Structure 1
Amino acid sequence: MCFEAGPIAHAFRESGRAEIKTRAEDEQAFVLHWLLTFALEHGAEWRKHAGDVLEAVIAEAKAAVAARKEALATGGARGES
């Protein structure tokens, strides 16, 4: 479960869409709850809908990480111009 839930929780955390504690139990609880809402709302089509949202979350997470790296590289994280 950790190996499946961890990367999803990390993407949500990095994207800024969710504040999730870093404990494996908290990550698993978040992901299970998130996926169950899709199953309840969309039935057999849950995987497609969750996948669509997850693609956007991953893209946002990658952009956020890249922005932080850029800020660190240019000194922006320390308030320098």
Structure 2
Amino acid sequence: MPRMSLEEARAMYKLWHDAEIALATSKSYSIAGRTLTRVDMPIIQERKKYYGRIIDELESGRRRTKVRSITPFDL
């Protein structure tokens, strides 16, 4: 995960949370003849989960480790 401060991660989480609320009210809208279509809900939820994990990691002071499988073989 990229290194960022806890404040940055919280700001990004709030941004995606606000996007989720905005999407719940309408999918698209028009202003002065221009139309804006919001991003899809699965993308918003994925980004919220991503920044939530970063926040948890930074608050706990631990980094997640990835476990990879190892397949032994004979030469």
Measured against the shorter chain, the TM-score band is 0.3 to 0.5
The TM-score normalised by the length of structure 2 is 0.38
Where is the helix percentage greater, Structure 1 or Structure 2? 1
The TM-score normalised by the length of structure 1 is 0.36
Q: Tell which structure's C-alpha radius of gyration is larger.
A: 2
